[in-house]
Each structure stands twice: as structure tokens, then as C-alpha cells.
Amino acid sequence: MDFRDTEPEAAFRAEVRSWIAGNLPGALQGDAGEGEWGQLSSGHDRDKAALALWRGRLQTRGWVAPAWPSAYGGAELGLMRQFVLKEELATARAPRFGGVGIGWVAPTLMQHGKEWMKERFIRKILAGEERWCQGFSEPGAGSDLASVQTRAVRDGDEFVVNGQKIWTSGAHIADWMILLARTDPSAPKHKGLSYFLLDMKTPGISLAPLINMAGNPGFNQVFFEDVRLPAENMVGEEHRGWYVAATTLDHERSLVDLCVEYREILLELARWAREAKPAGLTQSVRNGLVEMLIQVEVTRNLSLRVVSMQARGRQPNYEASIVKLYASELEQRMATVAFHLGGMLSQLTARHDDRWAPLMGRLGRFQLHSVAATIGGGTSEVQRNIIATRGLGLPRS
């Protein structure tokens, strides 16, 4: 494989880089958000007016959702151009607007949704006017997602929902939820599920925040008690929601710009180490920083393999699992090197200008955040099973 850009890709990269330089508002330049590693380009806690301006400028190019059809406001970019665009946005540490709505809900509706759903939701998702959360995981159904027990019982033109979801990111600020619920408890577990769109203002929904070890309240438990849901809000066929959910999960696997964020973290660590000369800057840690940069390039090459397969019309199922497995475990290795670099002071996680906390506490918070990397989006154990069975042809048991 030739790892260099083709001439058209190089020209597009130069165009994107120049456009970002001329259009990214000054308030958004430099360190993304508060510099919280793992959210380098999320727009977290940033100037809302500047974010709206930036989103509008991206929309004029179709770059908020570059893979979408132009009829829905996308740019219909090919896979390699999507890769280039994501790399350049990440390198510039410019906010990207993805999340559940753009990344998962809208593509699923384009494929499985009714026409009224497409007209009602997709434009608002693109404009950022409505926020979404994903009601899939439950206390007893995480990696084995088909085991969900939340029930949706038909009652005329409505379904009555009872049950519980967990690890629901952003449920406390979401307007809508994509909900996977069991509609036929007598059917095999993959064949008795249905997929719904649920208004989060519906009576009977209650939330309980889940505070993670880094002090972040983004997760939630969601409880449903006799929640009445219009039957017309079902996406796809009744009892065949697993196959709709599989479409959603397919869109969750893209990691093509993650390696850029990792590289930016390491470069920031190197700049800080040169300037501050922390006590933890031992030869072992120096070697670790170099090793992590090499592994970031490995991640990029693995991502390029996935993108090149998609560009040829092939389905990279176990190859995508290799990227997920390697990248998530790399994040934990990076966090360990960063933690050692800061020495004992890395245990301080203050977000304010504490003179004792290196990089405003980011070293410690990065270590805490990284613990979830091998769990979220599919555990390392699940990824290894996929690689073993689909990639190596090993038996399931």
C-alpha cells in the first residue's frame, strides 16, 4: 500500500487546511475546550456563539456530516476524503460535531426510517437543534446486547415501556433516545427486539446520574415506568430491531481520527516536559514517549487499512476490531507513561490553576478516563473474540 496521498487527496488536504485556517473562529483556536484529553475536539465548555458560527460554516461545505448524501445536507465525500478531512480537523484541534445524532441516529433513519422520521429529525440533527442519547445497554445486557429485558408491550396505537437502561451517555441533556426494547419475550433473544424513537419528555421516564471515577457525571441510569410510546415511532419492522441496531453499531466503529488526537496528546506532553523538566522525566519515560508515538503511527496504518477496504467495497469486520482493540489499549499505555512523567504530582486532578497539579490536573484525569477505553464501544474481550472467530477462523468454544 502507498501511504502517501494521491494527487487529488493531497490537493483536497491543502484545500481543507487552508479553509480551516481562514474559517475557524479565533475563540476556538488552540487548545480544544479546556484541553481535556480524550475530548480534544468536542467543543466542551467553549464559546457557544463561536461554536454556532463554526458549525454554520462547516454546514455550508457539507462537512458537519461529510459522508451523508447531499439531499440531507452532507457532502457525499468518498472514504479517503472523509479520512483526510477528519485528520485535518483533528490536527487543527477544531471542534467536530458528531455524537449519537449525527454518527448513529441519522444514518440509521436514512436506511430504515419512515419518510416522516427523515423529514422530522434529520435536519434538526444536522443543525444541532435536538440532542440524542442511546438506550441500548442494561445492567444485565452490555457486551451481550441482545439480552436486553426492557419490555415494550403493545396497547392499541401505543407501546407501554417498563425497564431500565444504564451507561446512557448524555441522557440528562438529551431531547430524544433511540431505544432497544423487547417486544416478544417468547422469541429467541435476537428476534424479539424492536427499535424505537423516544421523546425524553415523556411521562414515566426518570434519571439517576452515574459519576465516574474522574468525577464526570455524563453517564446515567434511565428508568421507564409505564412510559407510553406511539407505535409509529418504531423504526423498521416489529421484533426485528436487532438488525436496525446492528446498523447503528456499524456507524459506531469509526476511529480514523483518533490517532491524530493521540499524537497531539503526546506532542503536548513532550512540549511540557521540555519546558517544565518534571522529576518524572527519566530515561525510561523518554523511551516510553517515543514508543507511544511509534504505536500511534501503527494505529494510523491500521485505520488506513480499514478505510482502504471500505473504499474497495469490502466489509472490515475483524479488521475494525483490531483497530478498536489496539487503540483502546494504546490509550491506557499512553496514560501510564503520562502519569509517570508527572511523578507523584500526577495524582492531583484539580481543574483550576493549581500550581502543584501538572497541566492543570490532566495527567491524573487522563489516567482515570483511560480505564474505560477497553470497555466502551465493545470490550477488549469482545474484540478478541471477533478477531479469533472471524479473522483466524477459530471455533466459538
d(CA 216, CA 145): 25
CA nearest to 374, candidates 327, 320, 338, 322: 327
Task: For residues 83 and 77, give the distance between their C-alpha atoms in angstroms, rounded to a whole number.
Answer: 9
Q: Could you tell me which residues come within 8 angstroms of residue 197 by beta carbon, excluding any fewer than 6 positions away?
A: 117, 121, 176, 177, 178, 179, 233, 235
For residue 226, the surrounding DSSP H or E stretch is: strand 219-230
* Three-state secondary structure call for residue 34: coil
Rounded to 5°, angle at Cα 257 from 46 and 167: 65
Q: Rounded to an integer, what distance in angstroms lies between the CA atom of residue 263 and that of residue 313?
A: 29
Cell 469509526 belongs to 254
- Using CA atoms, how far residue 61 sits from 70, 122, 148, 376, in Å, is 10, 17, 40, 32
Q: Which of 15, 158, 252, 329 is catalytic?
A: 252
> Can 252 be counted among the known catalytic residues?
yes
Which pairs from 206-212 meet CB under 8 Å and 24+ separation?
Answer: 207/171, 207/172, 209/172, 210/166, 210/167, 212/368, 212/372
Q: Which residues are catalytic?
A: 252
